[in-house]
Structure 1
């Protein structure tokens, strides 16, 4: 009996939606050869991660075993699947495999970081395969909301695995390959050890709709609107971008794309041949000169991103174009949980301008993820021995396991850091790995537990006090402490300047301090910080972050 084992280890994307990173391994325990499927990011918010630019999975465990990593395989070009490849290339050093459209996006990211584009290798679709150590990996086309999405067929000595990636069953996706039931039935014909499956829409009971179903309603909407029409969607959803552009042309309007990401994705689609027959567009400077009722803009910023075109238009003007009363703004997208505040802010800004906003109308948007009936169908097409749900919060994973059990498939909830041994007839937990998040803060990566963001939040909530004191050669105060404040009101309950109140209380503390305290920087700093916080709380109700600078004169 072989002592080798087949393992699955999510480092991101299991127990959350976003930041996907999944490790597979085969070999002797602790010596397995490894592959990584997807390496994505998630996005920060001002409440929990102020100032952070991106959130990346913590790959410490994998980086420590980079000599055993055979390759990285990217299922599709959404940021939560490909966004971190360039940030982590130096730490991992493994070749990156992707289909042509995804490779085009990945290479652009690599170039921005000065990495060789030769590290990204283009793979042909199934039945072509790539050998990576004990793994043979094929990219099986599957429909989603971005071109050339693929489920991975991973053959190992321990059995065949299918990693679905993000998918839906769509036989008419407008752009990209339609769902091929016969191909997937043939993939499952010889038996599937485990299917690791998208769980995003497991609670959606109704059958999923095709991308092709939204074109006619959008056309009808545009034709009935008097002023300029502006629509936003995910830039990566080039099928929807094409649908919107075609609807605008059918309604007799000139179409203008606005936003760097939108233009980049459309250009990548054209370069790789997945986006054909895209309507002619005009530049913003030409659009600004045309009658409003003859223009349609397709813009970035469907999730309320502050620097995207939607937010810029809501703020007043973008590329010389201003929204006016009688115009229409269409969200041809679904708001991702957590982004509601930014989207609502933009909706209200447009409303104040007299713009009609359409959001949350299912006639103008369909999801790129499999609803419950599609998931049920995929279970029955592949009939895996084991189902491991991924790409979902814990409640999605748990519900997906219930669905699997109703189909007599063994399921297991595996969240980030839970290593699953897929040997034998049932999955079992092999180890627990410490996982977390890494923040890209400006140009520097920091750990989520490093305390930097925590301190930033504390300062944002409570303000900051800086105390300066000078101690002479005899360990005696040279004058009184002086104070600077940030993020605090100038006056407190005493109706006197807060700085004056703090300096008076700190001076009294210095006058009472004994020789041992004045000679010991740690004790002196501790005492000054305590007084400053107590006094500020009395005056304002806040306990601020305090920085103490002690300067000592020497002979």
Structure 2
């Protein structure tokens, strides 16, 4: 296993975000130190019951944290900074971020009680600084959030461009355009490797501009007479600014519904991005406005059950309602894996008589990631020797690698989480593997998704659970009727005969035990456990997770 990289090598090691979209964690190794770029999360779904937040397992680098020089954050999206409040206590390294990203992260650290411990070094846009043996330069790009940065990592063995999330938007509405001059200069200087966004590597053309979305939403909202809610990503400050302009043009007030919108808008105002807009209406005041005088920005574009829009659709929101004749615009893309929850949300809205508009019916969203024409432009400017696709599922990474080769990039490596890639010296290649798992936030605890807790939970969901309580005397004879609970299997009233049959099987199993075995608690419990599982399998065709409580008096 790789421990400390030598001064004669430059390594790249993804622990998250390579082979998936979300929970990015990237490591660069050189001269005895590791540099971390981004530390993000993804979200749970029906395959992770009870788990809402998922993040990379940082075990490899946490065990070597004395060699971790620092964490550089490319931008403030959850899949790039969301794990910091959960995992920083295991790393305790310096954090570097531009002002807007720092503002968003500080709010998270306050909530986690870490704001006095985890110090953030603010770096100006286009800033240069050192992190251990790595010389860092930030290059401004455009994305669906303010201050997206490519990270230039310079070492004596070569320069790497880590693009982060990006696109080429000629009219981004918030923040400057991508710094094409800096990218061209970097290409002239010479770049060993580009580690790049693969999300839209299979999409032809260009991603589109935020200014085009503004024009389209301006026309669309004008069609509606009653309340209009727009579901979008809270981090998209440009979209929020667009909604403010659209609301004003149609005599409406823009209300923010969802805590994430307020956090992001406050961070944006602190850094001058929404300074020209009036204050937004709170969700508490929405009900006092006429239906034709309100435009609401709501969290919940991905159908998250606890989001503002989902609670409104279920009639559970304390302040906001949607009624027949109102409209909801989904101004966002569907993240793969969220189709089911979004479908449920939209069905709930339809039951209310709400009109729904998505990107299938109208132009209401542009991606924040580069399509193939933008990727081609970046490769023309940078001209790297090596392409390392990241931020994508395996199919995206393979397509990106093939596309890079078609653009005369001499080497490309498809590396998944845990793959150690040697960038220099010699040809780029995977030279080792390290453990790379996932952690889930289970209530207040972080648990391995591959661990026993989640395996048991899945078994319980599929097969139910059974608990039997036995009271026996010193010789192992029952002194009371066994008590049985079969959650998810038997209804206490409707399945009385099945209960009686299972209890009878427990009694018979204990009676069949030799006298010496009845003195052994483990033997008694195992006999009862097998009796419960076999009987319930015969009755229901299920093998439940079974536990026996034994009381000996």
For the aligned pair, the TM-score class normalised by the smaller chain equals over 0.9
SS in 1 for 2:399: helix
The alignment partner of 2:303 has SS state of: coil
Aligned counterparts of 2:235 and 2:314: Cα–Cα separation in 1: 24
TM-score by length of 2: 0.95
Query: How many aligned residue pairs are there?
Result: 545
* Deviation of the 1:290 alpha carbon: 2.3
- Residue by residue over 1:372-425, the C-alpha shift from the partner in whole angstroms, topping out at 9 and shown as x without a partner, is 111111111100010000000111111111001101111110110000011134
* Displaced runs of 4 or more, over 6 A: none
Give, in angstroms, the shift of residue 476 of structure 1. Answer: 3.3
Indicate the residue corresponding to 2:290 in structure 1. 291
Q: Residue 451 of structure 1 aligns with which residue?
A: 452
Q: Which SS does the other structure have where 1:288 is aligned?
A: helix
Correspondence 1:531 to 2:531? yes
Name the CA distance, whole Å, in 2 between partners of 1:70 and 1:317: 47
Instruction: Write the mapping of 1:103-502 to structure 2, written as runs, cut at 5 A.
Output: 103-117=102-116, 119-126=119-126, 128-316=127-315, 318-361=317-360, 363-409=363-409, 410-490=411-491, 496-502=496-502
For 2:403 and 2:275, the matched residues in 1 are separated by 39
Match of 2:27 among 23, 34, 41: 23
Provide the C-alpha distance between the structure 1 equivalents of 2:485 and 2:7, rounded to a whole number of angstroms. 65
Return 541-550 or 69-78, whichever deviates more. 541-550
Q: CA deviation at 1:478?
A: 2.8
1:492 Cα deviation (Å)? Answer: 10
CA deviation map 1:253-297 (0-9, x unaligned): 122111110111011100122333234422334331222112111
Q: Report deviation, 1:3.
A: 6.2
Q: How does 1:511-550 map to 2 (within 5 A)?
A: 511-550=511-550
CA contact (8 A) 1:147 1:177 kept: no
CA drift of 1:496 comes to 4.0
The Cα of 1:317 is off from its aligned counterpart by: 5.2
Q: For residues 384 and 315 of structure 2, what CA distance do their matches in structure 1 show?
A: 54
Query: C-alpha separation between the residues in 1 aligned to 2:311 and 2:33?
Result: 48
Pairwise CA RMSD: 1.7
Native 8 Å contact 1:242 1:279 kept in 2 = no
Distance in 2, matches of 1:98 and 1:215, equals 29
318-327 vs 240-249, greater mean Cα deviation: 318-327
Q: Bigger CA drift: 536-545 or 272-281?
A: 272-281
Tell me how far apart the structure 2 counterparts of residues 294 and 103 of structure 1 sit (CA, whole Å). 35
**Structure 1 residues 135-172: Cα deviation after superposition (integer angstroms, max 9, x where no partner):** 01122111000000101011111111100000001121
Deviates more, 1:51-60 or 1:422-431: 422-431
- The CA distance in 1 between the partners of 2:157 and 2:493, in whole Å, is 69
Contact 2:8/2:425 (8 A) holds in 1: no
In structure 1, runs of 5+ residues without a counterpart are none
On the 8 A contact 2:510/2:527 being kept in 1, the answer is no
Task: Give the gaps of 5 or more residues in structure 2.
Answer: 1-5
SS in 1 for 2:36: strand
Cα distance, 1:477 vs structure 2:
3.3
Give the TM-score, by structure 1 length: 0.95
Q: Which residue of 2 aligns with 1:82?
A: 81
Shift of 1:365: 0.3
1:398–1:413 Cα contact (<8 Å) kept: yes
Cα deviation 1:84-131 (Å, max 9, x = unaligned): 1121122111100000011111111222222235611101122x3121
Counterpart in the other structure of 2:3: none
Is the 1:171–1:180 Cα contact (8 Å) retained in structure 2? no
- C-alpha displacement at 1:488, in angstroms? 1.8
